[in-house]
Amino acid sequence: MAKFELKLPKMGESVAEATITNWLKNIGDSIAIDEAVLEIATDKVDSEVPSEVSGILIEQLFGKDDVVKVGQTIAIIETEGVATELPQSATVVKPSEVEVQKIIETAQATVAPADFKTSDKFYSPLVKNIATAEGISISELESIIGTGKDGRVTKEDILKFVGSRKLEAGSQPATRNPQPVTFNSQPETFNPQLETRNPQPISLNGGDEIIEMDRMRKLISGYMVASVQTSAHVQSFIEVDVTNIVKWRDRVKVAFEKREGEKLTFTPIFMEAVAKAIKDFPGMNISVDGDYIIKKKNINLGMAAALPNGNLIVPVIKNADQLNLVGMAKAVNDLGNRAKAGKLKPDDTQGGTYTVTNVGTFGSVFGTPIINQPQVGILALGAIRKVPAVIETPDGDFIGIRQKMFLSHSYDHRVVDGALGGSFVKRVADYLEAFDVNREY
């Protein structure tokens, strides 16, 4: 008999790890080729890991909720054939890393307490064990600003915190004490992460029902709070006349679907205008890394999509500026359909540089969307409405019925000032109002 190592497969660019959410096969179960063995979750997408061979599952190397790196062996499957010796991994420790390694080894031998379940942030088992071994409380752990994906606290983050805490404990008081930030004339140090983690007690009565958030809702909750704490949100609003777009779509949508096999919604038209505006204002196509600004080469538009279970996901249209309207419509429909069906791949939600969300789908006129980190802007599309409007003509002004909508632009005031943020959304509006009703699709 031979033994086959089932490894966590590569799931796309920038996806380095995943969390095991459920084992579909137990030890002793038979497995067929391409049959799903377990379910995993990345930051936003759930997936299944199929077996590359048929055989019997004889060992599970990780449990539910464990975080596994891409390429790590997660299970052993016994197959028919000549037995092979499983390779043993060796750990090489540099002399300068001895102290760090001692902390990690101590943490790995320590079982993390159940108190971590009171936190709505996600921490890997290693981070929780290091926190336990070093006596780091929940409030201290939540105060650490993570440098990992979507603000996740990494091993390096917590080790840096441990080192700085020990340094502060052994140092003498500084000769100059900076004045604390004051609010309402009462001196206190303000920490937004700690402030949000001390909510007022909620009173319950006998008819109330307590429901735990699912995994994705917890992730979304963490992302939203982290974004508000990270970016200085500012909004600009502009009303747009899209009468020509509505008339053109009504005229061509049947022929478009017949020729292309795709429905033509308003979304790809708006996405096309946003991509053009980003090319005109590349300062919106950036991200922030500490004190550095990263200018993105590609224009990858995130498209916020509501899921049937009420959660939210943001698939990404890669190189959106290179697509014509037909290509944009196909990309929008494909990502939207796969999002609703739960068929998105991890790479489908990675690499976004700017996000568009359609709040008008639910009848909202405008909104104040929260930035999708580490981006610096997000545009909300309001509902299209028939409204009375002043129409200017060479013969004078008159009142007419027009199709109008609001564009709501949230941007990060740390790096985007009002001139850029306002000019960008104005340019999007200009492209929409100048839409050519005689254009071919």
CB 226 within 8 A of CB 192: no
CB 47 within 8 A of CB 39: yes
DSSP secondary structure of 236-305: EEEEEE-HHHHHHHHHHHHHHHHHHSS---SHHHHHHHHHHHHHH-GGGSEEEETTEEEE-SS--EEE-E
Q: Which of 378, 381, 150 is nearest to 284 (CA)?
A: 378
Q: Return d(Cα 65, Cα 63) in angstroms, integer.
A: 6
The sign of the torsion formed by the CA atoms of 425, 431, 437, 440 equals negative
CA dist 158 → 30, 124, 291 (Å): 41, 11, 21
CA dist 149 → 44, 159, 204, 353 (Å): 11, 17, 36, 15
DSSP state of 223: H
Q: Which of 46, 66, 413, 430 is catalytic?
A: 413
* Burial class for 353, CB neighbours closer than 10 Å (0-12, 13-18, 19+): buried
Tell me the one-letter amino acid at 200.
Q
β-sheet bridge partners, residue 41: 19, 46
Strands (E), 36-123: 36-41, 46-50, 55-60, 67-69, 73-79
The sign of the torsion formed by the CA atoms of 424, 430, 433, 434 equals negative
Residue 417: active-site member: yes
Q: Which of 29, 34, 214, 417 is catalytic?
A: 417
CB 356 within 8 A of CB 381: yes
Q: Which residues are catalytic?
A: 413, 417
